Amino acid sequence: MFSSTGRLTDLICGNAAANAVWSPRATVQAMLDVEAALARASALHGVIPASAVDAIVAACNAGNIDADALMTGAAAGGNLAIPLVKQLTAVVKASDAEAAKYVHWGATSQDIIDTGVVLQLRAALDLLDADLRALSDALVAQAQAHKQTPMIGRTWLQQALPITLGLKFAQWLDAVTRHRARLEELKARALVLQFGGAAGTLASLRDKGSLVAQALADDLKLTLPALPWHTQRDRIAESASFLGMLTGTLGKIARDVSLMMQTELGEVAEPAAAGKGGSSTMPHKRNPVGCAAVLTAATRAPNLVATIFAGMVQEHERALGGWQAEWEALPDLARLTAGALSNILAIVPDMEVNADRLARNLNVTNGLVLGEAVMLALGDAIGRLEAHKLVEGASKASVANGTSLFDALAANETVTRHLSHDQLKQLLDPANYVGQAQAFVDAAIAHSKKQER
């Protein structure tokens, strides 16, 4: 009844598991799971006859639903729940006419749709949680392995000062660690039941409203909120915010990797795989296709987050357009985030590192990037301003003459009066001017491991 295929690009920027969570069939099944749980909870407290439960629960299978009729009905009714309940009632009636009277008892369409989305969101967040743990482990391993591997740091896309490759991994790790903490906090606030009836008062259940709501939440293993939240969309907005921020961090990683993977740099590369990264016309190409997919997601995500945030301004007790705007924006955002995460997870553990190119790129400026180190050492003897002027002059001479900064400095009597050649070589060794890089790697790893506890 439901097509298993979506857009032809669904596996470029998504993954099979996340796509399945938000598939049309899964969406319908999530709503039917709520209807089945509602029947059980209502019968538990005598709101509907216990004899009606089995027929209703048995009918709550997406295979019983006509997808085309559901789509047509949703267009007329304004949401999926109205035609879904109509079809569900007909299925129940075919086996038990009496039980059919009690389908959807006491609920409103938004209760079923929102709680179904929460069930899907829980499944999606569980997938992200598992992949974030795996990514953390991979980043810890890479940060440790390259803790002392020097490379050039870049600001404004220009060479700046030496860092270590391990520090770059550690920076990514630290952001992922924060996202893992956010995810745990988000689950506590967002994975809650929506059950309020027509105007959020559960008036149709008389004195049994609170009892049925608690039983329904327990059945679905969701938290029961203090009150229904039909037009209070901060939980959904927070979920979108988390997904958008995580996708942005993954985009940052992809940007760094793709820049370092450029032919002229060649410092790292995505893991090689058959058929991955080739060009249709240029046999020599090895494109960063995983990074491209992540950056695509990172480009699309902010507008989806903005859509959900814009929809928070809702009317009275039921929204006119704002809630409805979430229906496609949130699933698309969740799929993109999951796809971006799986792509980064496919890159990081086996990323190829070219230590020779890292070293070569450190020396592209013939030592100019270490001028600060020499300036500070000289500044102890002749003052910072005078040292800055001297090193700046030596740097210009180095560029003009095509020589190294060492040669230019070693030819200056003021420099050699205070610094020996051996001291100059030490100062101009990139490995000796990475500051607290290694300590920062240790700190990021310790912070990540603390998150595990």
Active site residues: 279, 318
3-state DSSP assignment of residue 352: strand
Number of Cβ within 10 Å of residue 227's Cβ equals 12
The DSSP bridge partners found for residue 204 are none
Alpha carbons 223 and 451: distance in angstroms, whole number: 24
Alpha carbons 290 and 342: distance in angstroms, whole number: 9
Number of Cβ within 10 Å of residue 9's Cβ equals 10
Q: With beta carbons less than 8 A apart as the criterion, state whether 325 and 309 touch.
A: no
CA neighbor of 75 nearest in space, from 66, 67, 83, 65? 83
Half-sphere exposure of 203 (CA within 13 A, CB side): 4
Alpha carbons 429 and 162: distance in angstroms, whole number: 10
Q: With beta carbons less than 8 A apart as the criterion, state whether 220 and 34 touch.
A: yes
How far are the Cα atoms of 139, 268, 309, 351, 424 from residue 261, in angstroms, in the given order? 18, 5, 36, 11, 32
